[in-house]
Structure 1
Amino acid sequence: MAKKLLVLSAAAYSKQPELCLKSHFDVVEMVNEVTVDCGRIFDHDCYAYVALLHTKKAIAIGYRGSTSAFQLLSQALSLARHKVHFLDGKGKINQYFYRAYQAIWDEMEAGVIESLKKYPDYNIWITGHSLGGALASLTSVYMIYNGTVKLSQTENYSFGQPRVGDKESADYFHQLVPNFYRVAHAKDIVTVLFPRRFDYRHFPTEVWYDNDMTENSSYVLCKTLTDPECYSEDRNNVEDHSYYFNVHIARYGKAGCPMLNLNTTDDDDYSSSTGSSFGYKIQSVFLTMMATIVNWLFLP
């Protein structure tokens, strides 16, 4: 299931997500696409889509990750802002994530509700990479909290997701959506942002691959917030954040999600760092600098 949802996460980076989805699913119907301005200081967009995967009887919700250094900087600066309450005041979450989620969901909710009414036997698949993973988690939690969908109808996966809120919110999120899986690749640098010293915590369950994520790779299920088998602040690798199941998620999506074996290392365009754009390299350098500074200043 994780590999299916990886395709959905990659599709969010595509200018034509429908074509991306049709590369892997037989009958696809786009419900809506939402692009909102989510930058208060720097102008940048956040994006998500809703699609019907009829042969899978699924309603897919995919959120895009960060696409520019300015967007990363805006998220970094949000560390200086106070967290905000979410869902009955059960804990607080990052203000940037909350505002971005709310702006998208305000425009997307009607399409999701209408799809559920039209296809009540369909499941909902919710996913996203990086920033998209954070927004996906808020969507999953809200839909269960609000009674929009039953927990048994959902598949919830994120890839390279940062921490979203404080410990109280993490505990409450896990209580509401115990079947949410945060997939983490080895030393993915984003999975340790934002700092624990600022009372940011992950919610379970983390699926940690301390390897290249190719076929038959082992993983550890981390069911507590600080599971000693996989908890570590020593995650400082940008490449590990970009690559999941051996494909560069953003480039794979922008290329239309062509059919390939996600388990092997044979697909050079997506399984190596060669050919990375200048913009991507700038983002990588900035992300490394941002995480290094944050870790150096704030981690115990």
Structure 2
Amino acid sequence: MKQFQYVRPLTQLAVLAVINKPGTKIIAGGTNLVDLMKRGVTAPDKLVDINQLPLKSITATPKGLHIGALALNSVVSEDKLVAEKQPLLAMALKAGASPQLRNMATVGGNMMQRTRCTYFYDTTMPCNKRVPGSGCGAYEGINRMHAIFGASTQCIAVHPSDMCVGLAALDAVVVIAGKKGERRLPFTEFHRLPGDHPETDNRLGPGELIVAVEIPDNHFAKNSYYLKIRDRQSYAFALVSVAAALDIENGTIRQARLAMGGVAHKPWRLFEAEKSLIGKQVSENNFQQAAQLAMQGAKGYGYNSFKLKLAPASITEALKHAAGLV
């Protein structure tokens, strides 16, 4: 690991003044960044510690829930407001990482974590995300964990977060601060698909800082479920995960929200499957039809082709749990 400068500004204004300089990285919990530095995947010249900023609050607003970017994953997952208003988020957070990591990781840092693709982490292997133009080792390599949606010949890696899948399903909004003020971006637009530039993970601009996420009020608290299929029960990334939320009245689905993890370069929202469920009766058959609709455009790359069957089965199962059928 190369030597670097370390600064700890006390105000948001001071942070914004230094983070737009080349070679600068923001650090909060450091649960992903420090690993990347140790492995030589990234080598910043300066780390800007933002832990002194007042961005840890979890508060109810007239329109929903406001969660500061520095709120710890462990705190959010156990918060009474989150449990009452957005239990799907709590479920997703508790499915992620280990208790020790959740007690260090922040909401903003979780959003900014990079792929856990083995080719990305191994600096001896080609990776367009790490070294643009070097090739994608996973494309014809060992790609069991990789994407079946939204991939390109440049990159088939997946986003590793569970929290982000829950936030994508809940229509969350990212609050971003910059020198020109704040802007808001739908969570589903924050992360990018790889296209021809897989090195760019998200739409955070130079000199910008995530300050919060906001979740609008909804009627999903009673019928939500987060399903994570993984190789082992603890501390494993998803092969496939599903965030399912339903608004049900007298057995009829009024609204539905579905998002998947472990299948794309970003949390993968299933908009068409959601629409197909509106006005339908709660039934396994209707859930299976929605799950098949969700698979349009899916493509396997060899080792990960089993996901083409695992994904729709997981969608159906998550919907059944959300609806109280199991």
| Coarse TM-score class (shorter-chain normalised) | under 0.3
Higher helix share: 1
Return the TM-score normalized by structure 2. 0.25
Return the TM-score normalized by structure 1. 0.26
